[in-house]
Chains A and B, each alone.
Chain A
Amino acid sequence: MDVSHLFREMEAGTPVRVVLLSEASEDELGGISEIMGIGLSTEEMSRIRTHFISEGRDPTDVELEALGQAWSEHCCYKSSKYFMKRSFIGIKAPQTVIEGEDAGVVEFDDEHVYCVGLESHNHPSAIGPYGGSATGVGGIIRDVLCMGAQPIAVIDPLFFGPLDTPAEEVPEGINHPRFIYSGVVAGIRDYGNRIGIPTVAGMVNFHPGYTGNPLVNVGCVGIGRKENVIHSRVGGPGEVYILAGGRTGRDGIHGVTFASADLSAESEEKDRGSVQLGDPITKEPLIHSCLEANEKGLLRGMKDLGGGGLSCVSGEMALDGGAGAVIHLDRVPLKEEGLAPWEIWVSESQERMMVSVAPENVDAVLHMFRKWDVEAVVIGEVVEGKRVKALWHGRTILDLDLEFFTAGPEYCRIFESRKVDRDIPDPGIGPLPREKLEDALLSILSSPNICSKEDVFRVYDHEVRGRTVIKPYAGMPFSPGPSDAAVIKPLEDSYKGIVITADVNPYFCELDPYRGTLSAMEESVRNLVSTGAYPHSVTDCLNFGNPEKPDRLGDFERACTAIGEFARHFTLPVVSGNVSLYNESEIGKVPPTPTIMMVGLIDDIRSATTPDLKEKGNIIYLVGRTRNEMGGTAFFRYMGVECSCVPDVDLELSGKCMDAILEMNGEGLLFSVHDLSEGGLAAAISEMCIGGGLGADINIRRVGSMSEDEGEPMDVNEKLFSESNSRYLIEVPPQYALKVEDCLSRKGAPYTKLGTVLGDSLRITDGETILMDVPVSDLDYAWRNGLRKLMEGS
Chain B
Amino acid sequence: MFTVEVKVGLKKGVSDPEGANTLKSLELLGYDEVKSVKSLKVYRMEIDAPSREEASERVEEMCRRILTNPVIHTHEIVFL
Of chain B, the residue at the smallest CB distance from A163 is B28
Indicate if A570 sits at the interface (CB-CB under 8 A). Answer: no
Q: Looking at the assembled complex, report how far the CB atom of A48 sits from the nearest CB atom of chain B, in whole angstroms.
A: 43
Indicate if A167 sits at the interface (CB-CB under 8 A). Answer: yes
B30 contacts across to A, CB distance below 8 A:
167
B25 contacts across to A, CB distance below 8 A:
179, 182
Q: Looking at the assembled complex, report how far the CB atom of B9 sits from the nearest CB atom of chain A, in whole angstroms.
A: 22
Give Cα A176–Cα B30 distance, bound, in whole angstroms: 10
**9 CB-based A-B contacts, threshold 8 Å:** A167-B30, A176-B28, A176-B29, A178-B28, A179-B25, A179-B28, A179-B29, A182-B25, A182-B28
As a 0/1 sequence over residues 153 to 172 of chain A, the CB contacts with chain B under 8 angstroms (1 = contact) are 00000000000000100000
B28 contacts across to A, CB distance below 8 A:
176, 178-179, 182
Q: Give the one of B25, B28, B29, B30 with max A CB within 10 A.
A: B28
Of chain B, the residue at the smallest CB distance from A183 is B25
A179 contacts across to B, CB distance below 8 A:
25, 28-29
Q: Which 4 A-B pairs have the closest CB atoms?
A: A178-B28, A179-B28, A179-B29, A182-B25
Besides the contacts A176-B29, A179-B25, A179-B28, what 6 more A-B pairs have beta carbons closer than 8 Å? A167-B30, A176-B28, A178-B28, A179-B29, A182-B25, A182-B28
Within 8 A of B (CB), among A67-117: none
- Count residues of chain B with CB under 8 A from any CB of chain A: 4
Give Cα A381–Cα B20 distance, bound, in whole angstroms: 53
Of chain A, the residue at the smallest CB distance from B30 is A167
Contact surface of A with B, Cβ cutoff 8 Å: 167, 176, 178-179, 182
B29 contacts across to A, CB distance below 8 A:
176, 179
Give Cα A179–Cα B28 distance, bound, in whole angstroms: 7
A167 contacts across to B, CB distance below 8 A:
30
Q: Looking at the assembled complex, report how far the CB atom of A187 sits from the nearest CB atom of chain B, in whole angstroms.
A: 13
Of chain B, the residue at the smallest CB distance from A179 is B28
Of chain B, the residue at the smallest CB distance from A794 is B28
Within 8 A of A (CB), among B1-60: 25, 28-30
Give Cα A253–Cα B57 distance, bound, in whole angstroms: 44
Q: Looking at the assembled complex, report how far the CB atom of B46 sits from the nearest CB atom of chain A, in whole angstroms.
A: 17
Of chain A, the residue at the smallest CB distance from B29 is A179
Give Cα A94–Cα B71 distance, bound, in whole angstroms: 61
Of chain B, the residue at the smallest CB distance from A175 is B29
Give Cα A156–Cα B30 distance, bound, in whole angstroms: 29
A182 contacts across to B, CB distance below 8 A:
25, 28
Give Cα A179–Cα B30 distance, bound, in whole angstroms: 11
Give Cα A446–Cα B1 distance, bound, in whole angstroms: 61
Of chain B, the residue at the smallest CB distance from A181 is B28
Give Cα A557–Cα B29 distance, bound, in whole angstroms: 39
A178 contacts across to B, CB distance below 8 A:
28
Of chain A, the residue at the smallest CB distance from B27 is A794
Of chain B, the residue at the smallest CB distance from A792 is B24
Q: Looking at the assembled complex, report how far the CB atom of A179 sits from the nearest CB atom of chain B, in whole angstroms.
A: 6
A176 contacts across to B, CB distance below 8 A:
28-29
Q: Looking at the assembled complex, report how far the CB atom of A176 sits from the nearest CB atom of chain B, in whole angstroms.
A: 7
Give Cα A176–Cα B28 distance, bound, in whole angstroms: 8
Q: Looking at the assembled complex, report how far the CB atom of A490 sits from the nearest CB atom of chain B, in whole angstroms.
A: 35
Q: Looking at the assembled complex, report how far the CB atom of A789 sits from the nearest CB atom of chain B, in whole angstroms.
A: 16
Give Cα A178–Cα B25 distance, bound, in whole angstroms: 9
Give Cα A182–Cα B30 distance, bound, in whole angstroms: 15
Q: Looking at the assembled complex, report how far the CB atom of A182 sits from the nearest CB atom of chain B, in whole angstroms.
A: 7
Give Cα A176–Cα B27 distance, bound, in whole angstroms: 12
Q: Looking at the assembled complex, report how far the CB atom of B5 sits from the nearest CB atom of chain A, in whole angstroms.
A: 22
Give Cα A179–Cα B29 distance, bound, in whole angstroms: 7
Give Cα A176–Cα B29 distance, bound, in whole angstroms: 8
Give Cα A167–Cα B29 distance, bound, in whole angstroms: 9
Give Cα A182–Cα B24 distance, bound, in whole angstroms: 11
Give Cα A486–Cα B53 distance, bound, in whole angstroms: 59
Q: Looking at the assembled complex, report how far the CB atom of B19 sits from the nearest CB atom of chain A, in whole angstroms.
A: 16
Q: Looking at the assembled complex, report how far the CB atom of B23 sits from the nearest CB atom of chain A, in whole angstroms.
A: 13
Of chain B, the residue at the smallest CB distance from A182 is B25
Within 8 A of A (CB), among B56-75: none
Of chain B, the residue at the smallest CB distance from A167 is B30
Give Cα A414–Cα B43 distance, bound, in whole angstroms: 57
Give Cα A167–Cα B25 distance, bound, in whole angstroms: 14
Give Cα A525–Cα B56 distance, bound, in whole angstroms: 65
Q: Looking at the assembled complex, report how far the CB atom of A162 sits from the nearest CB atom of chain B, in whole angstroms.
A: 14
Give Cα A666–Cα B30 distance, bound, in whole angstroms: 55
Give Cα A167–Cα B27 distance, bound, in whole angstroms: 12
Q: Looking at the assembled complex, report how far the CB atom of B56 sits from the nearest CB atom of chain A, in whole angstroms.
A: 30
Q: Looking at the assembled complex, report how far the CB atom of B37 sits from the nearest CB atom of chain A, in whole angstroms.
A: 15
Give Cα A179–Cα B22 distance, bound, in whole angstroms: 12
Give Cα A179–Cα B27 distance, bound, in whole angstroms: 10
Q: Looking at the assembled complex, report how far the CB atom of B22 sits from the nearest CB atom of chain A, in whole angstroms.
A: 11
Q: Looking at the assembled complex, report how far the CB atom of A175 sits from the nearest CB atom of chain B, in whole angstroms.
A: 8
Q: Looking at the assembled complex, report how far the CB atom of B27 sits from the nearest CB atom of chain A, in whole angstroms.
A: 9
Of chain A, the residue at the smallest CB distance from B25 is A182
Give Cα A182–Cα B29 distance, bound, in whole angstroms: 12
Give Cα A296–Cα B28 distance, bound, in whole angstroms: 51
Q: Looking at the assembled complex, report how far the CB atom of B42 sits from the nearest CB atom of chain A, in whole angstroms.
A: 19
Q: Looking at the assembled complex, report how far the CB atom of A443 sits from the nearest CB atom of chain B, in whole angstroms.
A: 25
Q: Looking at the assembled complex, report how far the CB atom of A61 sits from the nearest CB atom of chain B, in whole angstroms.
A: 36
Q: Looking at the assembled complex, report how far the CB atom of A788 sits from the nearest CB atom of chain B, in whole angstroms.
A: 13
Give Cα A178–Cα B26 distance, bound, in whole angstroms: 11
Q: Looking at the assembled complex, report how far the CB atom of A178 sits from the nearest CB atom of chain B, in whole angstroms.
A: 5
Q: Looking at the assembled complex, report how far the CB atom of A432 sits from the nearest CB atom of chain B, in whole angstroms.
A: 37
Give Cα A459–Cα B39 distance, bound, in whole angstroms: 21
Q: Looking at the assembled complex, report how far the CB atom of A191 sits from the nearest CB atom of chain B, in whole angstroms.
A: 18
Q: Looking at the assembled complex, report how far the CB atom of A3 sits from the nearest CB atom of chain B, in whole angstroms.
A: 40
Q: Looking at the assembled complex, report how far the CB atom of B28 sits from the nearest CB atom of chain A, in whole angstroms.
A: 5
Give Cα A592–Cα B32 distance, bound, in whole angstroms: 37
Give Cα A707–Cα B25 distance, bound, in whole angstroms: 55
Q: Looking at the assembled complex, report how far the CB atom of A21 sits from the nearest CB atom of chain B, in whole angstroms.
A: 45
Give Cα A167–Cα B30 distance, bound, in whole angstroms: 9
Q: Looking at the assembled complex, report how far the CB atom of B60 sits from the nearest CB atom of chain A, in whole angstroms.
A: 28
